[in-house]
Amino acid sequence: MRIVKQFFTWWNGATWNTRFYTWRKGEHVGTDQFGNHYYRAKSAIPDSIPERRWVIYANYSEASQVPPGWHGWMHHRVDTPPQDGDYKPREWEKPHHENLTGTTRAYHPPGSIAVGGKPVVAAPDYQAWRPE
């Protein structure tokens, strides 16, 4: 079943065409703490198009799995990958984690159908708006 998924789905990892292109043209640049692999390939038209950069995700293809340092490199904001350069996170930055929306670990507020759907009693200082 995994082979079938690799032929027809892109969200379960790299497709066969992506693997073939990466094997042919890709130069492995590095790996982040989540296991994502980053590649680059020289442009066919170097004067007008910068080098191509891409990531092969360790799990599902979710862009929020790319940490800030690698995000800057992927979008050509810096020329050196975070492991080779002098990337240092700011002191106010929180540790990176992926977007959990749509997963079983997503946040569900009290009263949500996903957590039982029990109505939540409003705070005593709350007054509902009523149009007149």
Instruction: Flag whether 128 is in a domain.
Output: no
Instruction: Flag whether 8 is in a domain.
Output: yes
DSSP assigned state of 59: S
- Specify the number of domains making up the chain: 1
Residue 52's domain spans which residues? 2-115
Write down how long the chain is: 132
At 11-48, the pLDDT tens digits run 666 777 788 888 888 899 999 988 999 999 987 676 77
For the chain, how big is the Rg over CA atoms in Å? 22
- Average pLDDT value for residue range 76-96: 83
Instruction: Flag whether 74 is in a domain.
Output: yes
Nearest one of 48, 89, 51, 42 to 69, comparing CA atoms = 89
Distance in Å from the first CA to the final CA of the chain = 60
Distance CA 71, CA 82 (A): 9
